[in-house]
C-alpha cells in the first residue's frame, strides 16, 4: 500500500531534550516536506526537499533540522525543543514537487513541557 | 510572501444543502490546490487548478479558479455527512507550499 508513515504518532517531552520524528514513504517520491499545524495559524511549511541531499527552508524553519540521505526517509530533528514547538506535525511527499499531488502522513502530535 | 485567506472560517449546513468555500490570494495564482482534512488526520488531495477559468469536479465537489480575482471557490452540491472536515486551499510559488487557515465544515444529518 502506498503510504507515508511517521513515528512516533504522539510524543510528550521536556524542554531541551533532543528528539527526532521519522518520516518514510514507499512511493519513490522525489519531493518530501514537513509541516506544522497550529490552531488559528493553519498549516505552515517547515522544510522541504526536492531530492536526496537537497533541502530548503520553508516558512518556519527556526529550531528545526532535516536531512535527506535516502530518497525514502526525511527525518525532522528538534535539537533543543521548546514549548512553542508544541504542535501537530505532518510529513508529506509527492512525485516531483508541489505541482503534483502531495500524500500526507497521519501526523505526529508533539507536546513540549 | 503569498497569503491565502479562506472564507468562511467555519460552516454548518443541513445535509442535502449546497455550499461554497472561497480562497483568495494576496498574489497572482499560478496554481491552486484543494485538500481535505478529517479532524486531527493527514490531508487528502482533492484537486489542482492551474489555468484561469479552469473548473474541475470530483464526485459532488467542484472547484474553479478565477485568476483575475486571484480567487478559487469550492462548491459542494447536496452535502452529506461524509463531506464534513476541514478544507484547505494551497498555493506553491516555488515549491514552498502555502496553505490557507482552512474552513471547518459540519454537515448536520
Dump pLDDT digits (tens) for B24-71: 998 887 789 999 998 878 899 999 998 778 899 988 999 999 888 889
**Residue corresponding to grid cell 502506498:** A2
Surface of A (7-66) touching B: CB under 8 A: 31, 33, 35, 40-45, 48, 50, 56-59
Per DSSP, the residues of B33-60 read EEEEE-TTS-EEEEEEE-STT-EEEETT
CB contact under 8 A, A41 and B98: no
Cα separation, A112 vs A110, whole angstroms: 7
Check residue B95 and give its pLDDT.
Answer: 67
B92: nearest CB among A50, A98, A105: A98
DSSP state of B1: -
> What is the overall mean pLDDT for chain B?
91
Are the C-beta atoms of B47 and B36 separated by less than 8 Å?
no
Tell how far CA A64 is from the center of its chain: 9
Residue among B42, B95, B98 minimizing CB distance to A104: B42
Give the residue ranges of chain A where pLDDT is below 50.
none
Which of A43, A57, A92, A99 should we substitute to test contact with B (largest number of B Cβ atoms within 10 Å)? A43
pLDDT at residue B80 is higher than 80: yes
Cβ(B20)–Cβ(B74) under 8 Å?
Answer: yes
The answer to whether the Cβ–Cβ distance between A42 and B43 falls below 8 Å is no
At A58, is the secondary structure helix, strand, or coil? coil
Any A CB within 8 A of B14 CB = no
pLDDT of B22 strictly over 90: yes
Amino acid at each position: 500500500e502506498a503510504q507515508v508513515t511517521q513515528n512516533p504518532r504522539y510524543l510528550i517531552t521536556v524542554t531541551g531534550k533532543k528528539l527526532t520524528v521519522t518520516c518514510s514513504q514507499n512511493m519513490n517520491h522525489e519531493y518530501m516536506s514537513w509541516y506544522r499545524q497550529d490552531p488559528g495559524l493553519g498549516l505552515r511549511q517547515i522544510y522541504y526537499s526536492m531530492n536526496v541531499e537537497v533541502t530548503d527552508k520553508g516558512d518556519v524553519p527556526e529550531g528545526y533540522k532535516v536531512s535527506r540521505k535516502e530518497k525514502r526517509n526525511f527525518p525532522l530533528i528538534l535539537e533543543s525543543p521548546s514549548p512553542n514547538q508544541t504542535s501537530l506535525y505532518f510529513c508529506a511527499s509527492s512525485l516531483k514537487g508541489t505541482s503534483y499531488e502531495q500524500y500526507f502522513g497521519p501526523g505526529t502530535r508533539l507536546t513540549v513541557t | 510572501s503569498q497569503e491565502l485567506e479562506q472564507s468562511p472560517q467555519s460552516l454548518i449546513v443541513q445535509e442535502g444543502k449546497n455550499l461554497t468555500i472561497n480562497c483568495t490570494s494576496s498574489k497572482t495564482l499560478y496554481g491552486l490546490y484543494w485538500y481535505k482534512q478529517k479532524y486531527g488526520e493527514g490531508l487528502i488531495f482533492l484537486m489542482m487548478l492551474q489555468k484561469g477559468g479552469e473548473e474541475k469536479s470530483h464526485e459532488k465537489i467542484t472547484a474553479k479558479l478565477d485568476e483575475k480575482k486571484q480567487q478559487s471557490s469550492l462548491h459542494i452540491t447536496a452535502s452529506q455527512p461524509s463531506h464534513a472536515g476541514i478544507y484547505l486551499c494551497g498555493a506553491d510559488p516555488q515549491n514552498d507550499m502555502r496553505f490557507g487557515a482552512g474552513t471547518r465544515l459540519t454537515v448536520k444529518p
